[in-house]
Amino acid sequence: MTVSIEVEDQAWLALSGLDALAHAAIEAALAGAEIAGTDCEVAVLFTDDDSITTINAEWRGKGKPTNVLSFPTPVDLPVPDGEPRPLGDIVLAHGVIAREALEQSKTLHDHTTHLIVHGTLHLLGYDHETDNEAEEMEALERRILKGLGISDPYERP
């Protein structure tokens, strides 16, 4: 598994071990979805609210910031022999995630880990458009995060 990290917003650097956090979250999501060991590649962009607002407006028609966006690679994209299969890109906004963590009494580390797991599951085709999809995805997130020592992100204190 290859994880490419780009940090656009320097505020993310206050979260120590960002690279290890991203690797662990993605690896756990792949294992939880039972595709561990797959030779794949994920790109993660750690950005700010303004940048994610622009991306959200361009790709989803929503001119507001959001915590995480996922852009899966088309499954029919040809991959040269010996190259990792690109799963897609995950984009995270520091301001939104930091505010949510504070409002929800979570650490920035745990909330960021949850959102990387969430974004990775989107890259794998999981969604939450219907109640059944949401229940399935949230249950998988809970199991994955429990394995990482992170409490249920959907349980309110």
* In-domain check, residue 155: no
Q: Are 94 and 9 in contact (CB under 8 A)?
A: yes
* In-domain check, residue 20: yes
Q: What is the pTM of this model?
A: 0.96
Residue 91: CATH number of its domain: 3.40.390.30
- Give the number of other CB atoms < 10 A from CB of residue 59: 11
DSSP letters of the chain?
-EEEEEE-SGGGGGSTTHHHHHHHHHHHHHHHTT-TT--EEEEEEEE-HHHHHHHHHHHHS--S--SEEEEEPPTT----TTSPEEEEEEEEEHHHHHHHHHHTT--HHHHHHHHHHHHHHHHTT---SSHHHHHHHHHHHHHHHHHTT---TT---
Count of structural domains within the chain? 1
* In-domain check, residue 59: yes
* In-domain check, residue 152: no
Assign 157 a pLDDT band (cuts: 50, 70, 90): low
* In-domain check, residue 103: yes
Average pLDDT score over residue span 126-135: 94
* In-domain check, residue 122: yes
* In-domain check, residue 112: yes
User: How many Å separate Cα 40 from the centre of its chain?
Assistant: 15
The model's pLDDT over 51-88, given as tens digits with 9 standing for 90+, comes to: 999 999 999 999 999 999 999 999 899 999 989 999 99
> Whole domain around residue 143: which residue ranges?
2-147
The model's pLDDT over 6-59, given as tens digits with 9 standing for 90+, comes to: 999 999 999 999 999 999 999 999 999 998 777 899 999 999 999 999 999 999
* In-domain check, residue 119: yes
